[in-house]
Structures are given as C-alpha cells and as structure tokens.
Amino acid sequence: MVRGKRLISGPAVKTAAGRVLNRFDVQLVRRSELTVFGSHNTPKKYWNEFSQTIENLSENYRFLDPNELTEYLGQPDDFREGPYAMLSFDDGFANNYAVAEHLADRGIRAVFFVSTEFVNQHDSFGFYKRNILRNLPPQELRGLPENEFESLTPNQVAAIGDMGHTIGSHTVNHADIGEISADDLEFELLRSREKIKEWTGRQPRYFASTFDSRGLTVQAASQIRAVYDHHFSTLDLSNRHYGGHQVFRTNLEFYWSPEMRSYATRARTPEHLRWWAMNRSYRQRFHLG
Ligand SMILES: [Zn+2]
C-alpha cells in the first residue's frame, strides 16, 4: 500500500475538534449534536418561509428544551435521541411575538435575547437604526414597514416568558461588548439582568453576544461568565466538542433564500460546509448581530 494512505471505508469527516471520524462515528456525532440557531427578526412578509423552516427542522431534529441546556453541555454523550436543535432570537423585535406564539403552539421552546433599552423605549425604530443596524439592511429587509423593526414591549417580553420560552440578556444598549470598557460592560450585564427580572419575575441565566465580538478580551469573557451561566456567541462550532459555558450558534434567518435556509437547517456534510464557506462574505456583510 502507499505509505500513509488511509484505509477507512466510509467518507472521512474532520470535526471542529480536528478528530478524523469514519462514517460510523459521524452517525454518532449527529445523534448527540446540538445545533443552536441564531435569528433576528421575522417580518410578516416571510411568515411562510418561517413556518416552512420550522416544519423542516421538526422533521430533522428533536428540539432541546432551553432548560435542559446546562445538562446537555455538561454531558452531551448522555443525549442520544437527536440530532438536537434549539432556536434563539436576538434583539427583541416586535415580530418575534407571533414567532413565540407559533412555536409555543407546536410545543417548541426557544430563547429570546433582548436588549433591554430597545424594549424599554418608545422610539425603538430610532434605537434600531442607531444601535443595532450597522450596515445597510440585507436586501430582503429593504422597503419593509418601520414596525417590522420596532421592539417588543416589556409586557410582551413577560408574556413570551409565560408561554414557556426563556428570556435572555442581549445587553442594555446593544453595545458592542468587544469594544466597551470593563465598567461599561458590567453595567450592560447587570442592568439588563435586573430589567428582565423586573419584567418576567425570573432572573435570566443566558447572555448573547452583540455583533461578532471579535475584540472580546479574556477579561470581558470572564465578566460575562461571572454573571451568566451560558454565553451564546456568534461563532459556529460544535457544541458537542466544546461544551460548557460557551454556546456556539449557526446563523439562520427566515428571510434567506431556500438554499441558504436548507443548508443551515440540515445535518452537516462536507458539501454543506464547502457551500457555507463560499457564502461567508454574504453573511459577514449583512450580519446584524
Ligand atoms: Zn443583536
């Protein structure tokens, strides 16, 4: 045989941890893997796309209850009925209320991360333009009515919690947590936790990064760890291999093309990963954080 040639019967797949697996292992990975999807707003215009994507997810995944997240991350190998999916929605857009109702009707519990000052003020569209939107909105969101970019109210946030969903913190001001001082970060972490507790009666345990937080320092990461049990990032790695405090997420927007959505919601294959890498620039340009 040729020296160094591998003798593996199935297709070899490299995992995020760098371990080379054969086909039998891949099936094991898929059964216990948790994919946490990260979305933002779901305008009415894209309701059919949203409900169809939820149908597809229900066929391919078992939804993990957000309350079971700590247990999963502590011992992913104990979870073998998957692959598992969890949905999360950042910012606190008003159109997430219908999303929350639809999911609750189907017995699916998700995590809604809110920026408390976005929720707390009347001019939420102004806040959206100043603090959330960094670049031009994606093509699909241009020309939609302003109310598709306005926020939930505190009462609606409480009602979403009462539906069985989890409310998490997404800072107070949608501040870029990779850029601000330690004191400012402390405020963003604690004040948002306090407001959510006030609105829902429950102290939030989950926090989601704003933007891509590339500048996040070790100190900032440890500040987050001190206040929240889990930190949902915008990095897309395996939750099975890196489990613990950090939760990795796959971006999925319901207004995306069918191809983009179908990639993001299917079990991973090398072909999918290549396709995703090719479309990286699209996602970076339009990622809202
Ligand atoms: Zn955000």
> Structure pTM?
0.84
Does 215 fall in a domain?
Answer: yes
Most confident of 174-178, 195-199, 270-274: 195-199
Flag whether 219 is in a domain.
yes
Percentage of the chain exceeding pLDDT 90: 63
Instruction: Tell me the pLDDT tens digit for each residue of 122-171.
Output: 999 999 999 999 878 888 999 999 999 999 999 999 999 999 999 999 99
Instruction: State the distance from the centre of ligand 1 to the C-alpha of 25, rounded, in angstroms.
Output: 36
Q: Would 46 be classed as within a structural domain?
A: yes
Give the residue numbers spanning the domain of 250.
35-286
What pLDDT is recorded for position 242? Answer: 62
Closest residue by Cα to residue 199 from 152, 167, 154: 154
Interval between CA 18 and ligand 1 midpoint (Å): 30
Total structural domains within the chain: 1
Distance 90 CA to ligand 1 centre (A): 5
**Across the chain, what does the average pLDDT equal?**
85
DSSP code per residue over 3-29: TT----SS--EE-TT--EE-HHHHHHH
Q: How far is the CA of 16 from the centre of ligand 1 (A)?
A: 25
In a domain, 5, yes or no: no
CA of residue 39 to ligand 1 center, whole Å: 9
Kindly give the distance from the C-alpha atom of residue 238 to the centroid of ligand 1, in angstroms, as a whole number. 21
How confident is the model over 22-72, as pLDDT tens digits?
Answer: 443 344 346 888 999 999 999 999 999 999 999 989 988 899 999 999 999
Distance 73 CA to ligand 1 centre (A): 24
Residue 264 confidence (pLDDT)? 80
CA 223 and chain centroid, separation = 20
Give the domain CATH number at 195: 3.20.20.370
pLDDT of residue 152: 98
Is residue 27 in a domain?
no
